[in-house]
Chains A and B, each alone.
Chain A
Amino acid sequence: MATMAAPVSGVHAESSSPSGIWSWLTTVDHKRIGILYLVSAMFFFVWGGLEALVIRLQLAGPNMGLVSADMYNQLFTMHGTTMVFLVVMPLSSAFFNFLIPLQIGARDVAFPRLNAFSYWVFLFGGLVITLPILFGLAPNGGWFGYAPLTTKAYATGYNIDYWVLGLQILGVASLAAAFNFITTIINMRAPGMHLMRMPIFTWMSFVVQFLVILAFPAITVALVFLMFDRFFGTNFYTIAAGADPLLWQHLFWIFGHPEVYILILPAFGLVSEVLPTFSKKPLFGYPVMVYSGMLIGFLGFGVWAHHMFSVGMGPVADSVFSLTTMLIAIPTGVKILNWISTMWGGNIRFTTSMLFGIALVGLFTIGGISGIMHSSAPADLQQTDSYFVVAHFHYVLFGGAVFGIMAGIYYYFPKMTGRMLDETLGKIHFWTFFIAMNLTFFPMHFAGLYGMPRRIYTYDAGQGWELFNKLSTAGVILQGVGMLVFLYNFIKSWRSGPVAGNNPWGAPTLEWALPSPVPDYNFAHIPTITSRYPLWDQKADELVKSEAETTVGGRLKTAKELGIPMPFPTIRPLIAALLMSTMLCSVLFIHAGNLPLAMTIGIGSFLGLAFTLVSWLTSPLE
């Protein structure tokens, strides 16, 4: 506890809001929805981690027979799909939900009920994709599901159907959330919270929402084509009818590359909150950090074909996409430089959160540099489809996104729960993760350079790959140990960790002016902001009311006592999300050859959805 500078202050906010399962099913509170995202994503994290464990056990030695080739295909497909769409994206969503309104001085998001709808759609979409593996029917076409490989001619089972439908449903969740957050950030900032005073996490989230609304339509269209091909016999990916085998690849990667920044920018934002706090210094070059985030988002739309250097696009296209890919290293490098400069000369406290943040800077740089190697088309031709690429994207996504999110979890856990995570267990978690991560993924560089292709379910001895694979497998087992430590710490501290107080880290941004956990109305009054770091530069009484005004009898006043209108809890978003999911999934019965049942479920769900939406739109918000 010696690392915690600020004394415990403020009352521990005993929740006056209702509890019980029904209150969670009907909640429209952005903080609760954020916690729902967090817990669901952690569940999927364990799920996707177990899939990785089986993959690594299968690859531990040559010619192992733990799983069949078909099961292996399902495992690596679902590991990728789960980690991208069901872990990193919703973990980021957890922070968007929890933090954005708090950081900009708002009482909720712009559309609280739509926000609940986004979460439930995400959950149902996630279940549609993940559950089939229990029946050996999981998607098996890789996380980028290249058509025509995924068309009915080559993938006759239900596997790809679940993938197509699940991703469509998840897309709706992401888009609805993005419209919500864009509106919230543009329109709900407290007085004085100019754009260039917004905390950097909110800024990066803002950029990400634009990436979502502009990138997701491309995959939506690609999936619609695939769905029509599979269910209605269209020809979008039928090569025999003259279709272009690269159509899917282009549409997918026009989405897929911005998606990479959708995954990483929120983590960058979190780390940009953590590093200044634990260095006791303002973020170095705040405006440049904002502009480089925007530039990454902008350039992110111009690099997609670097995923396709090996398909033979010709020298002009290869050169252009090489060049844009190299360009994007500049704003990314600027960020790395600014983080280092933020820490430079600072009064650094090595909390667990800070350790994860510093580790991100180093690990992402390693992944970023192997990324620059890929940007050269001739070099990429040697590396593509090998374990070298697997090493690269795990350094940026595990060392980058997951480490950044872990930094965020250790940093914001006190604000979410009112309690501190155990620092000793936290440091054990960090060091196991850090060592295990490098042990798993660093040898993959060599396995790849020695020629080991990705996505093979086994290999022969004597190719020089055994040692690297053994090391990687050992690393994954160690990661599992680290994860268990983390989960134990998470559950134990939530129940009985030390009470945190308002601002245990001495942090500068607005959310730390509020009690922990934050009352349902967030701000008893909307503060006026005059600084980028209000808690370092402004007086407390300018930001929050005195305790005498906001508490009564040792507890926080309720929204009602303060006269703040709160949105009503409602079950309608959940029902609408469920019916939308069943409506889309009804096409599965077309595959089963039962058109009447498909029509019945589809039309029934549609009518139910329409009825729910009318009821939703005509019921008062608050």
Chain B
Amino acid sequence: MASVAKTDPHHAGDAPHAHPPTSTGLNHRKIAVWAFIGSECMLFVSLISTYLIYKGKSLAGPYPHEWWCRATNTIAKSAAELGQCAPAETFKPILNIPVTSASTFVLLMSSLAMVLALAAVENADLPMPSGAWDRILRSSKTWLWMTAILGTTFLGFQAYEFTSFVHEGLTIRTNLFGSSFFTLTGFHGAHVTVGVLWLLALLGIDYKRGLKPADALNVDIAALYWHFVDVVWIAIFTLIYLIQ
């Protein structure tokens, strides 16, 4: 093994000004972002667990999937079951699955756009193809904008959802459901917001000097984060909205 040491380029060749290659061949930032995502998993696991532990524990409505009569504090599977409850005292199920399905679709499509943005940056140096669709596929600006706009649309859905919930009588202070729901989805929304700002920063660079294959790593890391936030939403949508 001693001879290895003698012939090793970092020992004999000695270019001290050059950074030694990384042990794994991966960029530092890529490893760090994976570690970060691992940590974020535990954050969302804690938030989602709390929501699920508190599910059905609220002493007052409104409730996620049930009808509620404030005057009698009764819960029912349908409005009819509430019987005599005065309309002003009747609260409908809060979660709006059709609308949230649409926003989930929007967020999933943003991940597709993100994949295309990364591909466009990776191929930026190849000769430009002739077909119109092929040219669109090669435009990183298009796909970064698309991702950011779809992400913002998702946030718009969330803003609409939050305000309508408040109008229907549910705030973060109302009950355990309100506290855990708004905190969980609010944290997710904050993550999407950070992602959108990140995408806008990449777009800023793209307009300034154009993103080149050398920048692919930067886009790749943003994409990792974006897909992670997307995957978290799939868990939230399934566990909080779909399962009653």
Q: Which residues of A contact B (CB under 8 A)?
A: 110-111, 175, 178-180, 182-183, 186-193, 213-218, 220-222, 224-225, 228, 232-236, 240-244, 247, 251, 254, 524-528, 530, 538-539, 542, 562-565
Instruction: Indicate whether B243 reaches chain A with its CB closer than 8 angstroms.
Output: no
Interface residue B38 (Cβ < 8 Å from any Cβ of A):
yes
Tell me the complex Cα distance, A233–B182, Å.
13
Asked if A244 contacts B57 (CB within 8 A), the reply is yes
Q: A526 and B20 in contact (CB under 8 A), knowing A235-B173, A243-B54, A247-B53? A: yes
A191 proximity list for chain B (CB < 8 A): 8, 10, 20
Which of B26, B43, B53, B57 is the one whose CB lies under 8 Å from A217? B43
Identify which of A180, A242, A251, A542 contacts B175 (C-beta below 8 A): A242
Say how far B43's CB is from chain A's closest CB, in angstroms: 4
Q: How far is the CA of A222 from the CA of B183 in the complex (A)?
A: 12
- Is B88 in the interface zone, CB < 8 Å from A? no
Across the interface, do B50 and A527 meet the contact criterion of CB distance under 8 Å? no
A236 touches B179 (CB 8 A): yes
With a cutoff of 8 Å between Cβ atoms, the chain A residues found around residue B31 in the complex are 110, 182-183, 186-187
Tell me the complex Cα distance, A527–B5, Å. 8
B17 touches A564 (CB 8 A): yes
Residue in A218, A232, A526, A564 whose beta carbon sits within 8 Å of that of B172 in the complex: A232
- Pair A530/B50 contact, Cβ less than 8 Å: no
Q: Known contacts A192-B4, A243-B57, A247-B50; can you find 11 more A-B pairs with CB under 8 A?
A: A179-B35, A186-B31, A187-B26, A187-B31, A188-B28, A213-B42, A215-B42, A224-B183, A240-B59, A241-B175, A526-B11
In the assembly, what is the distance between CA of A192 and CA of B1, in Å? 10
Contact B16 A182 (CB under 8 A): no
Indicate if the CB atoms of B16 and A563 lie closer than 8 Å: yes
B28 close to A111 (CB less than 8 A): yes
- Chain B positions within 8 Å of A247 at CB level: 50, 53
Please, which residues of chain A bring their CB within 8 A of the CB of B1? 530
In this assembly, does B39 line the interface, its C-beta being within 8 Å of a C-beta of chain A? yes
Q: Any chain A CB within 8 A of the CB of B32?
A: yes
Cross-chain contact B16 with A524 (CB below 8 angstroms): yes
Known: A183-B28, A217-B42. A235 touches B4 (CB 8 A): no
Q: Which residues of B contact A234 (CB under 8 A)?
A: 172-173, 178-179, 183
Q: List 25 A-B contacts (CB under 8 A).
A: A179-B35, A183-B32, A187-B26, A187-B28, A188-B28, A216-B39, A221-B43, A221-B47, A221-B50, A228-B172, A232-B172, A234-B173, A235-B176, A235-B179, A236-B176, A242-B54, A242-B59, A525-B10, A526-B10, A528-B4, A528-B5, A530-B1, A530-B2, A538-B5, A562-B16
Establish whether residues A527 and B11, one from each chain, have CB atoms under 8 Å apart when the complex forms. yes
A542 to B43, CA, bound (A): 46
Task: Tell me the smallest distance from the CB of B195 to a CB of chain A, in Å.
Answer: 15
Interface check B125, CB cutoff 8 A: no
Of B14, B19, B32, B58, most buried by chain A (CB within 10 Å of CB) is B32
Q: A179-B35, A214-B39, A221-B47 are in contact. Are A563 and B59 (CB under 8 A)?
A: no
Q: Is the CB of A213 within 8 A of B50?
A: no
Closest A residue, CB atoms, query B59 = A242
| B244 part of interface (Cβ distance < 8 Å) | no
Within 8 A of A (CB), among B37-51: 38-40, 42-43, 45-47, 50
Chain B residues near A183 (CB-CB < 8 A): 28, 31-32, 35
Q: Which of A110, A225, A526, A538 makes the CB contact (< 8 A) with B28?
A: A110
One digit per residue, 1 when the CB lies within 8 angstroms of any chain A CB and 0 when it does not, for chain B 180-203 equals 100100000000000000000000
Q: Which residues of B contact A525 (CB under 8 A)?
A: 10-11, 14, 16
Would you call A214 and B38 a contact (CB within 8 A)?
yes
Q: Which residues of A contact B54 (CB under 8 A)?
A: 242-244
Shortest Cβ distance from residue A448 to the other chain B in the assembled complex, whole angstroms: 33
Known A235-B179, A563-B16; contact A217-B23, beta-carbon cutoff 8 A: no
Kindly provide the distance from the CB of A584 to the nearest chain B CB, expressed in whole angstroms: 15
B22 at interface (Cβ–Cβ under 8 A)? Answer: yes
Least CB distance from A476 to B in Å reads 38
Closest to A185 in B: B23
CA distance A225 to B77 in the complex (A): 30
Q: Does B130 contact A (CB under 8 A)?
A: no
**Residue among A213, A233, A234, A524 with most chain B CB within 10 A:** A234
In residues 148-186 of chain B, which contact A (Cβ within 8 Å)?
172-173, 175-176, 178-180, 183
- B36 to A, closest residue via Cβ: A179
**Which of B39, B54, B173, B183 is the most central at the interface, judged by chain A CB atoms within 10 Å of its CB?**
B39
**Chain B residues near A254 (CB, 8 Å)?**
46
Distance of A59 from chain B, by nearest CB (Å): 37
Q: Do A217 and B46 touch (CB < 8 A)? A: yes
A539 to B11 Cα, complex, angstroms: 13
Q: Which of B16, B20, B35, B59 contacts A213 (CB 8 A)?
A: B35
B61 to chain A, nearest CB (A): 12
Q: Assess the B180–A236 pair: CB atoms within 8 A.
A: yes
Taking CB atoms, residues of chain A closer than 8 Å to B43 are 217, 220-221
Whether A175 pairs with B20 at a CB distance below 8 angstroms is no
Residue among B1, B26, B40 with most chain A CB within 10 A? B1
Closest residue to A219 on the B side, CB-wise? B46
A258 to B16, CA, bound (A): 40
The 6 closest A-B pairs by CB, nearest first: A217-B42, A217-B43, A221-B46, A234-B179, A213-B39, A530-B1
- Cα distance, A565 to B17, chains bound together (Å): 6
* A542 x B35 contact (CB < 8 A): no
Contacts of B26 in A (CB 8 A): 187
Q: How far, in angstroms, from A597 to B94 measured CA to CA in the complex?
A: 35
